[in-house]
Amino acid sequence: MKKENEILIKVCGLNEFENIKAIVNLQPDFMGFIFYEKSKRFFSEEPEKIKFIRNLSKVNKVGVFVNADFKEILKKVKELNLQFVQLHGEETPEFCKQLQKEVKVIKVFRIDDKFDFKITEPYLEVCDYFLFDCFTEVYGGSGQKFNWKQLEEFPYSKKYFLSGGVKPEDATAIKKLNLPGLFAIDVNSGFEIAPGLKNIVTLKYFMQKMNM
């Protein structure tokens, strides 16, 4: 159960089996697996790894997709017993609405200096959460930040994940943000030894700092 003012943690872009098991022991709130073939963190589907993830029950499992086919998304949801899907592409509100009948939906919006939050309005009722990331020419895992102060202009009550270039040393600054809608922090490339392989020491440090 989320405590008042608690910010949850999502560790995304996981792939290496032993690393996944070690991260489970840290007890993050969400773990993310990327099903976008152009990603350096594309999830490789070994049977033993799939079985382990499917049977995980103490963490919310998120499948990350970019303009994927509806049936393909549902196939992964079933295979890995995912609780959430995270949509990084140009998915329409109608697509999200249909998908939300099957699984919880996180819709990603990529922020630049000219971003207009009104773009998110058609998605308010058809997604469970938003995720705000830095705009880049590629999808996800760029290690770049956007200006987090822009989120002070978000006019809706929808809860959201903050992503994009989060590093271990950012915990103090994140806790000082005055953002009522901030639900969770999404961490990825800033905690990596190599793509898809997370540094357990820095993850543990960050999670402890966030909980202090």
C-alpha 53 chain-centroid distance: 17
Cα(123)–Cα(160) distance, rounded to whole angstroms?
A: 12
Alpha helices in 61-149 (DSSP H): 70-80, 93-100
Phi and psi at 84, nearest 5°, equal -135, 150
Residue 57: count of CB within 10 angstroms of its CB: 7
Is-catalytic flag, 29?
no
Cα(83)–Cα(192) distance, rounded to whole angstroms?
A: 24
Q: Per the residue annotation, which of 12, 96, 170, 186 is the catalytic one?
A: 12
Cα(71)–Cα(205) distance, rounded to whole angstroms?
A: 39
Helix, strand, coil share of the chain (percent; to 5): 35, 25, 40
Is-catalytic flag, 127?
no
Q: Per the residue annotation, which of 29, 133, 170, 186 is the catalytic one?
A: 133
Q: Which residues form the catalytic set?
A: 12, 133
